[in-house]
Structure 1
Amino acid sequence: MSTSTRTDPKRWRLDVDDGVHQWRYVDESTSTQQPQSAAEKYFLGLPIGLPQLPTPSNFQESARNGFRFLLAGIVIAMYITETEIPPEWKTEIVHYLTSTVNKDGGWGLHSAGNSTVFATSLYYITLRVLGLEPTHSLATKARTRLHALGGAVGVPQWGKVWLALLNLYSWDGVNPIPPEFWLLPDWVPFHPWRWWVQCRVVYLPVSYLYSNKITNPLNPLLTSLRQEIYTSPYEKLIFERYRDYVAPSDLKKPTSSLLRVANKVLRFWEQYIRPDWIAQWANKQVCALIQHEDQNTSYNCLAPVNKAFHMIAVWHSDGANSPRMIRHREKISPYMWMGENGLTCSGTNGVQVWDTAFTIQAMVEVGLAMDPELRPSLEKALRFLDISQLREYLADPYRQPRKGGWPFSTRDNGYVVSDCAAEGLKAVLMLQKEYSYERTRASYLLEYANASEVFDRIMVEYPYPECTTAVKVICRASKYILSEQRPNGGWYGSWGVCFTYASLFAVQRLELVDQTWQTSEPVRRCCKFLLRTQKDDGGWGEHYASCEVEEYVQHEQSQVVNTAWACLALMHARYPFKEPIEKGLKLIMSRQQQNGEWYQEDVEGVFNNTCMIGYPNYKLYFTSWALGRYHNVYHPMLKEMESF
């Protein structure tokens, strides 16, 4: 296989049904009969033929113009479950990995991250599974970097699970993940139902895989990989010694002493005490919960991590050609995204509701809602939000009531998210007053049982300023937001980079209860914080390292998205001096292209403190939103203030 080979980008088509998107590669005849849309061309990096717009002379005119290991998990799951990987997928995945490899030959946990054992080992295996020979330069450089990092023995727990499933690592070297936890009474403080949903839904199928010690049969490829990914011969490795070992390049959250003791107790329980009937009972309970998750998400699952593990669990329990396995195969493609750099896997099956809600709000503040030409688009957006509302109750005993709420992506996904529901229609729903996905169900002390070794704040549901701000709640929410303000004057963002992101939502919420520059010392502190971090060119640029160290870290360059967030925050604070805001907006205007768009800059989102996520539409609607708000809301407000 050659890494320079590409499919014909003009033959890719994006099918969308109720927001669910699937890329497909068509033959030449279909390509001729079904021309590409402007959206398809845009996503693929092809010329879209939009006219060049006049250079804007003011902010209003300018506004009118305009997680990496996931992919490896899906590919490995398809390989283990004997799911055919289309040849065009193979070609474009290899091209994506070629396009995004770090200079040292490895890959990081996210697109902007330094090379890690986790990502490099899994992507090296992915390339080999897809047909790349070990002598290829891309594979050779990746293997060299992996060995320099110490080899695959230093992979964190989730990586150890993937390697064990592939028969490239012994299950003896994986710390216990017993399914018996699901047999505990619900009142137990550390019952898995109390864990944060993103963590819970991963360890549910993994507990089944671990309990049954599932491994792929050895074949020539896997036998060769055993020798390729380690610095010592496979036969000489004693995997038990590496249970608690994680390479320094990967370790973000060291295992607590409490969890180390618990792991020893659980290993003793497994080996010497647990009767077979309890293991069988636990497996049966876990299988039932896996089936609930499949049905409640239309076999999408919450995200691609648990989706991939679910596929292997169902393949093992039901068979390779079972009805459930067929359904799982059908729901792989909504996670796959084809772009200019090739085919990759998204962190969810999209951000459709989230992006649509913000786009509508931005268009209203820009003053486009009354434009007759745009009315059909807004009507379509509202119809999409209508069909995306979750209107059924669930049978799953551990899922939060969802009826009346909205998801992050599509109705198919099935999980209600508080700020998505609130931002979608600015609705005041009881569900959104306390939590992002679900209520907080356990003490934060449960974080001592965090076994991921890569992520932080994953064990329980936390309150987040940016989620609380999205819901119009009363005094208690305002007190919470004020209590979360950092000494530097900003707010720490758990879902975006970082202080500029959360500070916008916090100030936006406080404005609703009349806490502004004129009336609130905390808001004045936030404004001063933003002004201190403004760059000489008028913009703001915050590095994603802010999320990891929880202190503001300046980016080398201003970023249009950070600048838009900061300007919006100052405007919502009713900051009385327009000059800093105008400097920021001029920076945004200067980056706008002749066709009205803004180019992609650095990563905008974050997940669990350490994993950065791109939100490519942020650069389009938050920038327009800031420009439009200045013209339609902020500038008139200043004139009104001057008249008094």
Structure 2
Amino acid sequence: MLTENSSLSGSDTDYADFCRSSSVLDRAIASAKDSLLGLQNPAGYWVFELEADCTIPAEYILMMHYMDEIDPALQRKIANFLRGRQSADGSHPLYTGGDGDLSCTVKTYYALKLAGDSPDAAHMRKARLWILAQGGAAKANVFTRIMLAMFEQIPWRAVPFIPVEIMLLPRWFPFHPDKISYWSRTVMVPLSILCSNRVKARNPLEIGIPELFIRPPAQEKRYFSHVNTRLGKAILVLDRIGLLMEPLIPGFVRRQATARAQDWFMARLNGYDGLGGIFTAMVNAYEAMDYLGISADNEQRQIARAAIDKLLVVKGDTAYCQPCVSPVWDTGLAVLALQEVERHGREPHSGQSIKTALDWLARKQLRDEPGDWQVQRPNLRGGGWAFQFGNSYYPDVDDTAVVAYAMMQSDSPEFAGNIRRAANWIAGMQSKNGGYGAFDVDNTHYFLNQIPFADHGALLDPPTADVSARCIMLLGKLGNRHPDYRDVIDRCMAYLRKQQEADGSWFGRWGSNYIYGTWSVLLGFEAVGVDKQDPGIRKAVVWLKSKQREDGGWGEGNISYHDAGIRGEFSTGTAFHTSLALLALLAAGEVGCGEVEAGVDYLLKSQRVHGFWEDEYFNAPGFPKFFYLKYHGYDKFFPLWALARYRNEIRRRVL
């Protein structure tokens, strides 16, 4: 690689340095590119595993016992997976290397006991002792307590009041399903049917977990001890009053509300892609269909179950269940990486792969399908992409920006209509503060995070810097040709400048974490054409350089969502974070600096013989502090993108 003291003025010495280093770089890029192309589906898309913590596979086993639909062979494989994820102290964490999580450990313990593991087994004993040391299962979160109530392990007074009558509330009411995020909506509506009717799991083996409670559940009085704010306590009082008054709800009102809830989720079942495209909503809908008397041979019910099973990943003697799948996101980012590789002369095979991918994406664009977002923007025409294979009610702003940007970079006139529709839709989805949420507009009713149901603090989908930056990345590139986006861009830029942290970084809502957020914004600023010497950019560059590790890499753990004081830091570097830092620095004009050279060397040294990189750690939150993900594609296409961008910048300046 060029050294820190190398000049990029185009001298003979610089050219010789470039030639010596270029062959190594070219080989690394070619190897990664070939491996990535080899994983493309013939239809044109890429889809990588999307792994969560043990909660989801544990819930799959719990679902089988709830419904009395037990597949012993599959259960055994999932149990093997769960045992393999246990920490040394007996707990199960929310992400690799994280602290144990009580709710995750309770669900995993129960799932393993249902699967046949003896409470006296060493791993079960360790888990039980750890759970009891945290206060027992009574201290678990709301979703876990709802599951325990369904399995008759705790009384229903231990869970929040979730009446199905919420479906009858007017939109001006302080709480309404339209005021919460799409994922909360799709989970809560079928769940309200189950909770209102105090459903009971079939639990054919009649297995319970009384050993996980410090005092008998019926005697426990502190199920809501986690509510500690004044507003939260006031809402809890209303919640308890509502629970006491529930018997006074007329039967015809409950029947009307139940019918409306059923109509709502049945209209959104989404075929083989499932309600909302997410596991928890799918399971709630499937169990609600069972309670409502929809027979097992009903086609919609069978498809709903098949949608859940499509999330399974089976490998030999282990299996786990994904929370959802990410083909549109994976394909859009893979195309951006390949476009960078082929920026100065497209190789025929790569060119055809990119074209096939873009054609597949073009067919996936949502046009005028109904969507919940139309409540906030009734006159806005659809034009976005979902995250999953299909999710027509819930296009994703972030995915839409990435896919349309990739289409724009193709310079193919056949995608002009797709791009324009996407840009118009994104412009219309802007929130009042200038930023963008992932799925909803002005989803900022923050007081709702104080209701007892929302102990995860993730009931809402407010604007965030990373999604907003992706939107101006697209609109900024279109701005010169379409000045009608200028006001939208200016408002979003003002929002992003306000969101910059004092140290120069930006928070990353959908990727771990401040390195991800800072990468997002610096690419957006570059697309808009912000001067490289802009004070905000300079401050971000200083922050990024200060977080580089001695080995040349960058890393950041999910602990930064819990303690912002260690943002941009981790016990080890990762290919993912190193790639993001490099892309951010290159977007800021730092191509010749020593930090970039060291980062490139880190990627070259850590590349594996198969062409990819292997990061062990989770790299994104589903919900910060509560639920984390590992995108298995991030250590494949991001390093390729970073190395290709570096090579292109060097070539542009040296040759």
Counterpart position of 2:426: 432
Aligned partner of 2:306: which letter?
Answer: E
Q: Is 1:459 paired with 2:444?
A: no
Structure 1 residues 193-223: Cα deviation after superposition (integer angstroms, max 9, x where no partner): 111112222222222111111112565532x
Task: Give 1:413 deviation, angstroms.
Answer: 6.7
- Please give the residue correspondences for 1:68-467 in structure 2 after superposition, counting only pairs within 5 Å: 68=53, 69-85=55-71, 87-217=72-202, 220-222=205-207, 225-233=208-216, 237-239=218-220, 241-245=221-225, 254=227, 256-272=229-245, 273-295=248-270, 299-323=274-298, 324-339=300-315, 342-348=318-324, 350-367=325-342, 370-394=346-370, 403-411=382-390, 415-426=394-405, 427=419, 428-433=422-427, 434=430, 435-449=437-451, 451-453=453-455, 455-456=456-457, 458-467=458-467
Structure 1 residues 13-34: Cα deviation after superposition (integer angstroms, max 9, x where no partner): xxxxxxxxxxxxxxxxxxxxxx
- Larger deviation, residues 468-477 vs 407-416: 407-416
Aligned partner of 1:409: which letter?
Answer: Q
Structure with more helix by fraction: 2
Aligned partner of 1:184: which letter?
Answer: L
- Partners of 1:398 and 1:72 lie apart in 2 by 35
Aligned partner of 1:440: which letter?
Answer: D
Is the partner of 2:268 in helix, strand or coil?
Answer: helix
- Partners of 2:155 and 2:336 lie apart in 1 by 52
Q: 5+ unaligned residues in a row in structure 2: which ranges? A: 1-20, 33-51, 406-418, 431-436, 476-488
- Partners of 2:136 and 2:162 lie apart in 1 by 24
- Please give the residue correspondences for 1:493-532 in structure 2 after superposition, counting only pairs within 5 Å: 493-518=508-533, 520-532=534-546
Q: 5+ unaligned residues in a row in structure 1: which ranges? A: 1-54, 247-253
- Partners of 2:369 and 2:200 lie apart in 1 by 37
Q: For 1:574, which of 577, 582, 589 is the aligned residue?
A: 589
Aligned residue pairs, count: 568
Structure 1 residues 62-115: Cα deviation after superposition (integer angstroms, max 9, x where no partner): 222213212222222232123342x33122201111211111122123344322
Change (3 A) 1:149 1:450: closer
Counterpart position of 2:469: 469
- Partners of 1:395 and 1:96 lie apart in 2 by 37
Is the partner of 2:112 in helix, strand or coil?
Answer: helix
Aligned partner of 1:438: which letter?
Answer: D
Counterpart position of 1:618: 634
- Partners of 2:59 and 2:228 lie apart in 1 by 23
- Partners of 2:73 and 2:205 lie apart in 1 by 24
TM-score normalized with structure 2 length = 0.81
Structure 1 residues 512-568: Cα deviation after superposition (integer angstroms, max 9, x where no partner): 2221433x1100000011111111121112122112223415211111111110010
Aligned partner of 1:469: which letter?
Answer: A
Contact 1:152 1:230 (8 Å CA) reproduced? yes
- Partners of 2:382 and 2:29 lie apart in 1 by 36
- Partners of 1:488 and 1:340 lie apart in 2 by 47
% of aligned pairs identical? 22
Contact 2:522 2:537 (8 Å CA) reproduced? yes
Task: Give 1:432 deviation, angstroms.
Answer: 2.1
Counterpart position of 1:590: 605
Counterpart position of 1:534: 548
Aligned partner of 1:229: which letter?
Answer: L
- State the Cα RMSD in Å: 2.5
Q: For 2:617, which of 602, 614, 627 is the aligned residue?
A: 602
Contact 2:369 2:382 (8 Å CA) reproduced? yes
- Partners of 2:68 and 2:90 lie apart in 1 by 29
- Partners of 1:162 and 1:399 lie apart in 2 by 33
Structure 1 residues 171-197: Cα deviation after superposition (integer angstroms, max 9, x where no partner): 121121122222111123432211111
- Partners of 2:391 and 2:163 lie apart in 1 by 30
- Larger deviation, residues 148-157 vs 481-490: 148-157
- Please give the residue correspondences for 1:472-483 in structure 2 after superposition, counting only pairs within 5 Å: 472-473=474-475, 474-483=489-498
Task: Give 1:138 deviation, angstroms.
Answer: 2.8
Is the partner of 1:338 in helix, strand or coil?
Answer: strand
TM-score normalized with structure 1 length = 0.83
Aligned partner of 2:222: which letter?
Answer: Y
Task: Give 1:295 deviation, angstroms.
Answer: 4.4
Structure 1 residues 48-70: Cα deviation after superposition (integer angstroms, max 9, x where no partner): xxxxxxx9843333222213212
Structure 1 residues 329-377: Cα deviation after superposition (integer angstroms, max 9, x where no partner): 11122211234782112121x1111111111111111127721233443
Is the partner of 1:344 in helix, strand or coil?
Answer: strand
Is the partner of 2:314 in helix, strand or coil?
Answer: strand
